[in-house]
Amino acid sequence: MKKVVFTDLDGTLLDSFSYSYCQALEAINLLRNKEIPIVFCSTKTRAEQEAYREELNIKDPFIVENGGAIFIPLAYFPFVFNHHKTTKDYLVIELGIPSQKVRETLKKVENEIGCYITGFGDMNVEEIAKDSGLNLKFAALAKQREYDETFKIENTQEKIEATLNKIEEAGLTYTHGGKYYDAMGGNDKGKATKILIELFRRKFGKIETIGIGDSQNDISMLKAVDVPVLVQKPDNRWEEVNLTNIYKVEGEGSQGWARAINELIGG
C-alpha cells in the first residue's frame, strides 16, 4: 500500500527557532528512496516552500498559506482534474481569497476598532527579518503572500480580543501561532489535504496517509489523514488535541519528525 506524508513546516520539519531541517535529512532521504510523496502543508508562502523544496529535492504537490491554495507540478497526476489556474510550473487549486482583499479588510477593522495592526505587507524585508528571526532571504520570501496576511496587533488584551472578533464578523478567519496571527478567507488545511488525498487515490489506488504537525493550526490536516502525528514543542510538551488516534513522538521539530518517520516507516 502506497504511503503519502503530509507535513507542517515551522516547529515540525523545521526547528522552531533555527528553522533547521538538518536532523530530518536522513528520514527525508528514506522517503525519497522509497518514492513516498512528501507534501508540505504550511502557513508558509509558495516562495518559501519552493526554496525548501529545491534545497531538499522534493517535487511533490504542496499546500500554501494555511490551505489557501494547492500547487501541483505539471503532469504530476496522469489524469485531468479540476483546477482554477495554470502557471508555468503548476496547476493551482485555490481555496482562499487574494491577500490584497484580506489586507483591505484588516485595514477597515483597524480603523473601526482603533488598534494597531501591522502586517507583513506593511513591513519591509529588513523589518520582517528583525522581528521574526528569519534571515533576509526568507524574510523576503515570507513577504510574498498570495492568500492570507501575517500580522500582529499592538494594544491592550481587551482591544486585541475586540479586533479578533471584528475580523471574524468581517467574514475572515484567523490562526495564532505565537507572535503572529494569520488572517484569511476560505483557507482550509484540512480541505486542501482531503482534495490531494483523493487525487493520490486516483493515482495510486489504496493509500495510507500520514500527517505530521505540532500545533492547533495543524488539527484540520491531522483529522484528514489516516495516521495523525504530533511532535513535541520546545518545552517538551505536546499540543492538546481532541483526536483519539493521535500518535505522539518525542522530540521537537526535525528531531521529532525524523523519529516519526523512522518509527512509522522505518528502513
Catalytically active residues are 8
Look up residue 165 and give its three cell numbers: 472578533
Q: Which of 168, 130, 128 is nearest to 144 (CA)?
A: 128
- φ/ψ of 202, rounded to 5, equals -65, -35
Q: Tell me whether residue 85 is exposed, middle or buried, using C-beta atoms within 10 angstroms of its C-beta: 0 to 12, 13 to 18, 19 or more.
A: exposed
Element (H, E) at 86: strand 85-86
Task: Write down the residue that cell numbers 488545511 correspond to.
Answer: 189
Taking phi over 0 as left and psi of -120 to 50 as alpha, with beta for the rest, 66 belongs to left
| Buried-exposed string 209-230: b where 16+ CB fall within 10 A, e elsewhere | bbbbbbbebbbbbbbbbebbbb
Cβ atoms 222, 246 nearer than 8 A: yes
d(Cα 60, Cα 260) in Å, to the nearest integer? 20
